[in-house]
Amino acid sequence: MRRCIGCMESKPKQDLIRIAFYEGELSVDPGGKAKGRGVYLCRNRECAALAKKKNALQRNFKQNFSGETIDRIFEELLNAEQ
C-alpha cells in the first residue's frame, strides 16, 4: 500500500503512478523502478490538481522546483494517465 500525495488515500501500488527524484531531476516513473526517492499519485486529474495546489512535490522532496519543472511533470502525468 502507498499513499497518494494528492488525496492522501492509501491504495495498492499498482493503482498509483510514481514520481521519482534522483540526482536533481524529477521524472514520471510509470514502471515504478527508477532510482531515487519516489512519491505516488492516483491516476486521475483531481489528485494531480490537488497535489499541484498543495505544492506536494516540493514538500515531499524538500526541494524548490521551478514552475516549468512542475508544469512539465504534471503534463507528463496527465499524458501517462490516458
Query: Rounded distance, CA 80 to CA 65, Å?
Result: 21
Mean pLDDT (whole number) for 15-40: 95
What confidence score (pLDDT) does residue 80 get?
A: 76
Per residue in 45-78, pLDDT (tens digit) is 999 999 999 999 999 999 999 999 999 999 998 8
What confidence score (pLDDT) does residue 82 get?
A: 63
Q: Are 7 and 47 in contact (CB under 8 A)?
A: yes
Whether 5 has a pLDDT exceeding 90, the answer reads yes
* Cell output for 33: 523502478
pTM of full prediction above 0.75: yes
- Mean pLDDT value across the chain: 94
Ordered by start, the domain boundaries in the chain are 2-81
Task: Assign 28 to helix, strand or coil.
Answer: strand
Identify the CATH class of 2-81.
alpha beta
